[in-house]
Structure formats: structure tokens, C-alpha cells
């Protein structure tokens, strides 16, 4: 087995292709984008955004016409992205007053929004209740009590959905599991019974419109969705018996997975366990049959089904372009230094895998294994799981008897292979492209080490490009300082 995910095949028909050896996105040469807008640079495909929106609506509404798709804006709250999704027919899920503001600027009415969060502020609740938001997904009894007080103050009724803990494990990493009582999310069954009693006592100010659950993100186990459907069907019926009016909707959350490479064949050169988080057979068609259809059959067409996908709507719509600024030889391998590190793509910090090609030499077949790192003054600023590899080395050094379990330790602790495969001719000045960065990249970008945040552009369906986020300027580094 190699230490790197296979470079080829990487192309994606009618989206990521090559011409004259250079990477193109929707027919546009990315090297020309770098020359025009600078590096590093996020590039988004309007066509892919629309295709994802059309796909989920088509598949889910085919089995349940009364389905509402609320894009989880925490995955990418860029105004241009939000406007494309609005135009494509999506509603929106928000997680803060800031996301509420951005959604309003993007043109979404409050009646098209659902509000999640574990520690909503009074100021945020006051705004969304006054605006007549579609639903507040309530996470705790203390939050519900504050909502009641604010609704009284405003003399307005708040629409409430209670978030239940289904005790279903899911998610690619422990920090991405949200469906068990080991996480910080949701209410227990006994807490929800108390919440429903409070709602029934105050019908003038509180109306329970639905139930809500979310089991995690990048959930690649189809049985988790089967268990979620069964749980929510039973729970919906149970809650209905406790209310003097019918529930209007059932909110399934999101967490739907996406592939982080172009082909299953990419993973044929590494240990099987490396791909478990990054490859999946689950798509919107499978989810429509596994998750949406059973609920539709059990509860009927009149009940609205709400879903809150984030990653699955945007991850494959964006690439990150970064220029090679330096190279060294280390331990018989070349190490390439990019102008983008985890301050630009924060998920790299936790060892998440993003497929990478040389956009300047996209068709070169002569390749070598190498290391790729970022520019920050931080040893963790690398495109491999240095933390996981470090844990394994420390354990084997301190407890040599564990050597026979090295493969198991790597399976548990190391989340991606240690090397990259790139063209042998790769050199300083070349542009590398990281795929599937559309989720969370812009939202978690920062100016650590004084490295200015990257710009972002949209390639539209006419194969033109436009700036959708400007590059940070040195003056921006001072915007919060008082001196």
C-alpha cells in the first residue's frame, strides 16, 4: 500500500476538467483566475450550487411533496451563495443573530427561516420572534422559559419546535456527533415533557409547531438514517397526543454526507479505513427512499418535512487555489510550501482530507510522493494528520509492547494518509487546487499570523467570474483593535 491517496482519476464531467494540461472549473482556466484575482483564492461554481439544490428538491419532493429544504447557512453564509440557493427554491436555517442578518440581506423572509442553537441570546430571540420566524428549534428548558418571557414582552406568539435527543450515533468524528446525550445538543424525553406542559399552559405566547432531531454531520452509515426515521415517527405520534392541536412539521436536521474524492479508485492505494469518512454511496436519491419515504408513509402528505443540509449542498461546489511558494527535501521526499494553510482552510487543522492536484500540470502522469504544508508559524499547519501520527509515535515509544497493534492505533488515531501524490515536475510558482472546500472554509477563515484572508469568486453559468468576497487588506487586521 502507498502512503498517499491516488492522484488519478480526479476529473468530474462538465465541472472539473483539464485543457492543455491546466485545470478548468466550468470551462474557466483556474490559472487565469489566480492571475486576475490573486492567491490564495476560493472559487465557487454557480452551476454546481444550482445542481445540488435542484437534486435534493427533486428527489425529496418526489416521495413527499410537502418537503422544505432549509440550507444550513453555517456551512457557507456568503451572500452570493445564499442568493443562488434562494433563487433555486431553498429556505434557510440560521444559528445566530448574525446569520439572521445575513439571511435577511440575502432576501430570505423570516417565514422561510428556522433558528437552531444551544445558547441563543435574548437579543437574537427578540429579533426573530418579532419578525415572525417560521420556527425556533428549542434546545433546553431554560431557553424555552426565556422565549416565553420575550414573547410576553412583545405580546406575540413564538413558533416552537423542540429538539429531542434520539440517542443515535452518527458523524465522521466525535465532535460531529450531535444525536446522543454525550453531546451538548437537545433535550431528553423527560425535559421535553416538561417543555410541552409549559407550552400548553401558555397558548397565547407559545405554539409547538413540530419536533426536531439532528444526528451529526458527514453521517455515512445508512442505518443511522433508518433509525432516525423510525424514532421520529414514533415520537411525532407520541407528542401529537399531548397537544390540543396537530403538529405542523417534523424536522430531520441534516448531516447528509458528501464524497471528498472523485472516485472510489482514488482509495485503492491506501488502507481501507482511510476512506470511511471521505467516501459514501449515500446520495439524495438513497436518502429520499431511506429517510423521507418512511416518514411520508407513516405521517401523511399534510405533515411538512423539513431538512437542514449544509455540507452536502456546498462542499463539492468550491475549490481552493494556492500557489507553491517554496520547497525543501525532507526524509527523501520533497516538501512543498503553499501560501494557504489552516488559517484559510481550517478543517486542515483537524486532519481532514481534501483531494489535491497541480492545476498547472493537471495531466502529468509522472508523479512522486511528497509532503504539502502551509505557511503559518505552527507545526500543525500541514496537509496531513500530524497530530494523529504524533499520538501513535508517542504511544509506541512509551509502550513498545503496543507495536503489534500499530495498524489498529493508526486506524483509530490517524485520519488520513501522510503523503500526497503530485507531478514530479511540480515547482515553485505552480498553482495547486484543493477540491471540495465549499463547506465551512469561508466561515472559519481567519487572519492568524497576519496572513490576510483569501478572496472568493463565483464562476457563473455563462462561464464568467465575479468577486463574491474581497481579499483582506492590512487595514482589516486593525479593525477590532482600540489604540
CA-CA-CA-CA torsion sign (92, 84, 353, 261): positive
6 domain residue, yes or no: no
Cα separation, 186 vs 167, in Å, equals: 10
Q: How many domains does the chain have?
A: 2
User: For residue 472, is it within any domain?
Assistant: yes
- The answer to whether residues 224 and 203 touch, using CB atoms and an 8 Å cutoff, is no
Statement to judge: residues 32 and 64 lie in one domain: no
- Sign of the dihedral defined by the CA atoms of residues 420, 221, 78, 122, in that order: negative
Collapsed DSSP state (helix, strand, coil) of residue 329: strand
DSSP 8-state code for residue 290: I
At 233 the three-state DSSP class reads helix
Same domain, 190 and 296: yes
CB 156 within 8 A of CB 201: no
pLDDT for 14 equals: 83
* Distance between CA atoms of residues 150 and 205, nearest Å: 9
Q: Would residue 212 count as lying in a domain?
A: yes
Angle at 317 between CA 227 and CA 53, to 5 degrees: 55
b/e per residue 150-178 (b: at least 16 CB within 10 A): bbeeeeeebbbbbbbbbbbbbbbeeebbb
- Quick one: 281 and 374 in the same domain? no
Same domain, 208 and 106: yes
Backbone angles phi, psi at 359, to 5 degrees: -70, -20
**Of 254, 277, 311, which one is at a domain's C-terminal end?**
311
> Distance between CA 66 and CA 249 in Å, rounded?
10
- How far apart are the C-alpha atoms of 431 and 41, rounded to whole Å? 10
Nearest to 224 by CA among 176, 191, 158, 266: 176
Residues of the chain with pLDDT under 50: 1
Are 322 and 252 within one domain? no
Alpha-carbon gap, residue 94 to 75, rounded angstroms = 10
- Hunting for cell 432549509 — which residue is that? 70
Residue 289 lies in domain:
46-311
Same domain, 190 and 300: yes
pLDDT for 136 = 97
Q: Are residues 468 and 353 in the same domain?
A: yes
Amino acid at each position: 500500500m502507498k502512503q498517499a491517496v491516488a492522484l488519478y482519476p480526479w476529473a468530474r464531467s462538465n465541472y472539473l476538467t483539464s485543457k492543455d494540461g491546466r485545470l478548468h472549473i466550468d470551462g474557466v482556466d483556474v490559472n487565469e483566475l489566480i492571475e486576475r484575482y490573486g492567491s490564495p483564492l476560493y472559487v465557487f461554481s454557480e452551476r454546481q450550487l444550482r445542481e445540488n439544490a435542484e437534486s435534493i428538491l427533486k428527489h425529496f419532493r418526489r416521495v413527499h411533496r410537502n418537503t422544505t429544504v432549509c440550507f444550513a447557512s453555517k456551512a457557507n453564509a456568503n451572500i452570493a451563495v445564499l442568493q443562488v440557493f434562494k433563487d433555486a427554491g431553498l429556505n434557510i436555517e440560521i444559528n445566530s443573530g448574525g446569520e439572521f442578518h445575513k439571511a435577511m440581506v440575502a432576501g430570505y423572509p423570516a417565514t422561510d427561516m428556522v433558528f437552531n442553537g444551544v445558547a441563543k441570546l435574548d437579543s437574537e430571540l427578540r429579533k426573530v420572534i418579532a419578525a415572525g420566524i417560521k420556527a425556533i428549534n428549542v434546545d433546553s428548558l431554560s431557553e424555552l422559559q426565556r422565549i416565553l418571557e420575550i414573547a410576553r414582552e412583545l405580546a406575540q406568539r413564538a413558533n416552537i419546535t423542540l429538539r429531542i435527543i434520539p440517542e443515535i450515533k452518527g458523524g465522521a468524528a466525535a465532535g460531529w456527533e450531535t444525536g446522543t446525550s454525550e453531546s451538548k445538543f437537545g433535550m431528553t424525553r423527560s425535559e421535553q415533557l416538561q417543555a410541552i406542559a409549559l407550552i400548553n399552559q401558555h397558548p397565547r405566547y407559545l405554539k409547538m409547531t413540530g419536533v426536531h432531531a439532528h444526528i451529526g454531520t458527514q453521517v455515512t452509515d445508512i442505518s443511522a438514517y433508518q433509525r432516525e426515521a423510525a424514532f421520529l415517527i414514533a415520537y411525532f405520534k407520541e407528542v401529537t397526543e399531548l397537544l390540543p392541536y396537530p403538529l405542523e412539521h417534523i424536522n430531520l436536521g441534516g448531516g447528509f454526507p458528501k464524497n471528498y474524492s472523485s472516485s472510489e479508485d482514488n482509495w485503492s492505494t491506501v488502507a481501507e479505513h482511510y476512506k470511511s469518512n471521505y467516501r459514501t454511496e449515500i446520495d439524495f436519491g438513497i436518502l429520499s427512499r431511506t429517510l423521507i419515504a418512511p416518514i411520508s408513509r407513516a405521517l401523511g402528505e399534510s405533515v411538512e418535512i423539513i431538512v437542514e443540509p449544509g455540507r452536502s449542498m456546498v462542499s463539492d461546489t468550491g475549490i481552493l487555489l494556492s500557489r507553491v511558494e517554496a520547497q525543501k527535501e525532507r526524509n527523501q521526499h520533497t516538501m512543498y510550501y503553499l501560501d494557504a494553510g489552516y488559517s484559510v482552510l481550517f478543517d486542515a487543522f483537524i486532519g481532514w482530507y481534501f483531494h489535491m492536484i497541480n492545476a498547472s500540470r493537471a495531466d502529468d502522469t509522472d508523479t512522486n510522493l511528497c509532503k504539502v504544508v502551509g505557511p503559518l508559524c505552527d507545526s500543525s499547519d500541514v496537509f496531513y494528520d500530524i497530530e494523529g501520527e504524533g499520538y501513535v509515535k508517542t504511544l509506541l515509544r512509551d509502550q513498545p509492547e503496543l507495536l503489534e497493534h500499530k495498524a489498529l492505533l493508526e486506524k483509530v488515531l490517524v485520519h488520513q494518509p501522510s503523503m500526497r501524490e503530485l507531478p514530479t515536475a511540480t515547482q515553485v510558482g505552480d498553482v495547486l487546487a484543493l477540491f471540495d472546500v465549499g463547506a465551512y472554509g469561508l466561515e472559519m477563515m481567519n487572519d492568524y499570523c497576519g496572513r490576510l484572508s483569501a478572496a472568493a469568486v463565483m464562476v457563473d453559468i455563462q462561464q464568467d467570474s465575479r468577486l463574491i468576497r474581497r481579499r483582506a487588506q492590512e487595514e482589516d487586521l486593525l479593525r477590532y483593535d482600540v489604540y
